[in-house]
A = this chain, B = another copy of it.
Amino acid sequence: MTKFAKPLALALAASALSYPAMAQQAGSVPLADMADGALDQDKIAWDFVEGITTEVGPRQAGTEAEARGRAWAVKWLKDQGFQNVADEPFMMDTWVPGDLHKAEIISPFPQPLVVQPLGGSASTGPGGIEAEVVYFENVGDLAAAPEGSLAGKIAYISHSMTPTQDGSQYGFAGPARWVGASIAKSKGAAATVIKSVGTDNHRTPHVGGTQVVDGMIPAGALSIPDALNLERMFARAGDRPITMKLVLTPQKLGMTQSGNVVGEIVGRDPSLPPVLLACHLDSWWNAPGAFDDGAGCGIAAAAALHVSHTGQPLRTIRVLMAGAEEVGLHGSVAYSKAHIDEPIGVAFESDFGADRIWRFESNFGTSNPDLHALLAKSVARFGVANSTIVASGGADINIARDQKTAIIDLQQDGSRYFDLHHTPDDTLDKIDPVQLRQNVAVWTQVTGILANYEGSIKGE
């Protein structure tokens, strides 16, 4: 990627962390130069994601750890010069993973396996349950099992997910996690263990939510190497049943408080609908959530700040760091409910890691083709291709869908996203600073154009 930034832009971008001191120079740097400077020198996104993963760590929704994350983010946003920073609370029904997560083959090949509970899993109690394991190659085979055929058994559900740049195999393999437990329960199963929905080969299970139904059963994810080992056991066991002892002790805490953190770069004309940049602050309990989604919040905040350094924007830029995304988009729902009567101009979100953006999508390619083309052209130099795919937005911008407003998707390369997604391995060291800065550059460019766009921005 060629980079021809001006010295002034470089100097500004390099010192961008000291945003308030730069205010007097606002307007002195062209947007494109600021985006180019971010590509080489942004430190803001890294500072956010390093800070929250190091100083807060895992941020399970509804817990005191998530609350510490919000307090940390509020302080950080204020320190960076954001205005109208707030933690907007909402109540949620909170699940926590508990302390005991064990799976052990009892017979015929006794050995421990690495397991973690899926979000929403019931508890086996500390004594666990011991039962025969029944193999299903995929969730479709499970769905075809006769009623009652799993009575008292543990259903094991496999899949065959491979890495994809657009992440599309999550839709192919994801149902093993999303609905496997509820289907197994409907057939009488005592519990479910799945092959982790992911693409790595480490002993780090991929957790994530599973559909909660009445009479919910315990549901765990084996790491992929453990799942493959279990499958080899089936191949080698012949007629011998495979029995497992499973111990998972999640708990339900009842209603607790979560919240959405917001902050603004206030525009010159607050009557114009703002540009909404979204991400989520919560993570699963088993990792500090660097890829998912500390990086996204860092990217969004960094872009807003860089645009502010080019001069006060016409429209307000609002950053929404949603709470409780992982466990059911509670923050996104609460935000839309609280702000449904305040029109948004355009919304987009970063929640697919920190690797390079490679495709631009909007939902106004037909209704506002000139703006779509302008944006697409503006990011082409960063290796981002135009697309006719209609953007639908991410989990945290329910408000944009509810208001039927304009949406953009800046698609990130997901080739290694499902190596890390929802695993203990979602740690800071996985972030490539060069690719992270490319995200900030693209977001800066797009946000700057939109925040200074005088016309109407309308979704289809």
Contact = CB atoms under 8 A, between A and B. Distances in A.
Interface stretch (A35-43, A189-197, A424-432, A445-453): A424-432
Contacts of A68: 110
B65 A229 contact: no
B203 A424 contact: yes
Contacts of A287: 203
Interface string A35-61: 000000000000000110111111000
Interface residues of A, number: 37
By Cβ-Cβ distance, the 10 closest A-B pairs, closest first, are A57-B111, A225-B427, A203-B424, A54-B232, A55-B109, A201-B429, A202-B202, A225-B429, A203-B425, A202-B425
B57 A112 contact: yes
A288 interface: yes
A15 to B, nearest CB: 20
Given A111-B58, A204-B203, A430-B201, A229 B53 contact: yes
A428 B427 CA distance: 25
Quickly give the copy total for this chain. Answer: 2
Contacts of A425: 201-203, 225
Contacts of A5: none
A381 interface: no
A112 B57 CA distance: 8
A212 interface: no
B110 A57 contact: yes
B109 A56 contact: yes
Interface string A211-227: 00000000000001110
A425 to B, nearest CB: 6
